[in-house]
Amino acid sequence: MKYFTLNNGLEIPAVGFGSVLESDVANFEEVYENAWSTGYRLFDTAASYGNQIALGKWLKNSDHARKEYFLTGKVAQSEQGYEETLSAFQKTLTELQTDYLDLYLIHWPKEKPFFETWKALEHLYDEGLVRAIGLSNFEANHLDRLLTKAKIMPAVDQLETHPYFSNHVTHDYLEKLGIQHQAWSPLGHGGQELTDSVIKSLAEKYDKSTGQIILRWLYQKGVATIPKSTNTNRQKQNINLFDWALTPRDEQLIDLLQRGERVMGAPDENYSADRW
């Protein structure tokens, strides 16, 4: 595994495991244990995914040492606000059966309370209950507003990012601010960009899968990813990215696929909605 170093010195795995929902699979614990055996050590979840209890049970049953893995959680929209976030965090710890998180994010920007939510995250960080704090789905306008009051610079921003929506403008802004970009839905929602003809021709050229081509492209751009697969072979592929490279020209060929096509509504459309 390769790591990116966050602005507070914490190392984050370059590839983590995206959240599998209990409703998606009959063998939840087996899927996660396979991911563990394959080498995944970052497990991403969120209060709104409804899988924290199952994840906590697996972690308890599997008996993996806590310091061996990295857990990311997210504050749901309905949990935003200072006191609300502090109690949501406790609930998340209880459900995950742990006494700290490695990374805690605000899931979506929500205009009124996000300053208060951020203050709660800063408090949790100061108390040593979370090793890094960050954001998800915050674009430049949301970041600029948050930073007028934030005492701690966010360490991570987790954003929709895949070839058809490379989010390059926000990426460049994050780079300037020293915030690590992490991609959700890196393969396009449901893996829909895996069949793109440019990606397919590159997969043939490098003798890799289309998923590997996309994930390597993101890694070369300095973007951390959390691909999700319930299949052991594909889990293996998605982590085998580090002993080969795309040429700069091939990287640019994927850059050119950008067409501003989101798989979910823009963050501003979720701004005041209690969607998550």
- Chain residues in the site for ligand A2P (CB under 6 A): 18, 185, 187, 189-191, 194, 209, 211, 227-231, 234, 237-238
Q: What is the bridge-based pairing of β-strands 11-13 and 3-5?
A: antiparallel
Q: Which is nearer to ligand A2P, 140 or 245 (CB)?
A: 245
Shortest gap between Cβ of 208 and ligand A2P (angstroms)? 9
Q: Which is nearer to ligand A2P, 170 or 185 (CB)?
A: 185
Which of these, 173, 112, 137, lies nearest to 268 by C-alpha position?
137
Shortest gap between Cβ of 203 and ligand A2P (angstroms)? 10
Shortest gap between Cβ of 32 and ligand A2P (angstroms)? 13
Q: Which is nearer to ligand A2P, 73 or 81 (CB)?
A: 73
| C-alpha neighbours within 13 Å on the C-beta side of residue 144 | 5
Can you point out the beta strands (E) in 137-230? 156-160, 180-184, 224-225
Q: Which residue number places its CB atom closest to ligand A2P?
A: 211
Residues 6+ apart with CB under 8 A from 165: 258, 259, 260, 261, 262, 263
Q: Which is nearer to ligand A2P, 133 or 203 (CB)?
A: 203
Shortest gap between Cβ of 90 and ligand A2P (angstroms)? 28
Alpha helix ranges (H) inside 68-209: 82-96, 114-126, 140-147, 168-177, 197-206
Phi, psi for 76 (deg, rounded to 5): -75, 160
Shortest gap between Cβ of 178 and ligand A2P (angstroms)? 27
By residue count, the chain amounts to 276
Q: Return the active site residues.
A: 49
The vertex-262 CA angle with 158 and 142, nearest 5°, equals: 45
Residue-wise burial string across 38-61, b where 16 or more C-beta atoms lie within 10 A, e elsewhere: bebbbbbbbbbbebbebbbbbbee
Q: Which is nearer to ligand A2P, 85 or 229 (CB)?
A: 229
